[in-house]
Amino acid sequence: MKSAYIFPGQGSQFKGMGLDLYQSSDSAKTMFDQANSILGFDITKIMFEGTDEELKQTNVTQPAIFIHSVIMAKISPDFSPNMVAGHSLGEFSALVAAGALSFEDGLKLVAKRADAMQKACEIRPSTMAAILGLADNIIEEVCAGITDEIVVPANYNCPGQVVISGTFEGVEKACELLKAAGAKRALILPVGGAFHSPLMEPAREELASAIHAAEFEAPICAIYQNVNAMPATEVNVIKENLISQLTAPVRWTQSIEQMVNDGAEIFIECGPGKVLQGLVKKIASGVEIKSI
């Protein structure tokens, strides 16, 4: 059976995350200690003992999920993917797990990404909203029709669940129009800014130089990247797609569909939580879905 390993993004964190790995594996303990050293602060203390509020800080959340996901993959004796993919931040976890980046370089990039995104959020107040029960093309048309503000589809999570992203005014206007067009719900999300939208351009520029400077190698298998939902193994292609990801939508629905078309029969979520398993269940019927 062809196995696809999938790695979660922001929102999958929980109090006490990773403590079981730290206590049960010497290899995991070494990597957790290494992460504290790389980041320059005790992230493991926050992961193991911190509050929900502390875990929600972008500079903690993104590295924490990355660390948890990568360590799970690295200490799993059965980790042998035919293909990998990660949702937004999870794309970095997938690349490290598949050998395209070292743990140290991957963590440094994730920390840089979190910092750059936070700064972009502060430049212009912005937000995101989940749109439920409406076809993708209607959401795209409504967003495209709003020309006096920025609002774009940001995450194609599964059929009937798309997240939009933009200025407060743009997102609020789109929510009203989308509800009028038949959306079951249009829910403003408690996030720090408009991720995966043109408002992340300052972050994209900042991260681009760090990605170009990092040492990448060809992964052990194809990675299906967010920006185009297509498999990639060539280093330069992977880098450019990773840079574009910050301002482009996460095409998760399309990525899972493409992986199934390419023979994936079992999807294994590697990281905290079970968010991606729920999404895959709504995208692809007849495939096996489990955690690592």
Indicate which residue of 69, 87, 126, 196 is catalytic. 196
If we measure between CA atoms, which residue out of 5, 136, 6, 83 comes closest to residue 261? 83
Annotated catalytic residue 25:
no
Measured CA distances, 251 to 85, 92, 151, 196 (Å): 11, 15, 17, 11
What percent of the chain is helix, strand and coil (3-state, nearest 5)?
Answer: 50, 20, 30
Residue type, 246: L
Indicate which residue of 12, 88, 93, 165 is catalytic. 88
Residue type, 107: L
Distance CA 37, CA 231 (A): 33
Bridge partners of 291, per DSSP, are: 269
Annotated catalytic residue 209:
no
How many residues are there in the chain?
292
Q: Which two tokens stand for residue 59?
A: 């500079």
Measured CA distances, 24 to 18, 40, 63, 73, 290 (Å): 10, 24, 21, 15, 21
Residues with catalytic function: 88, 196
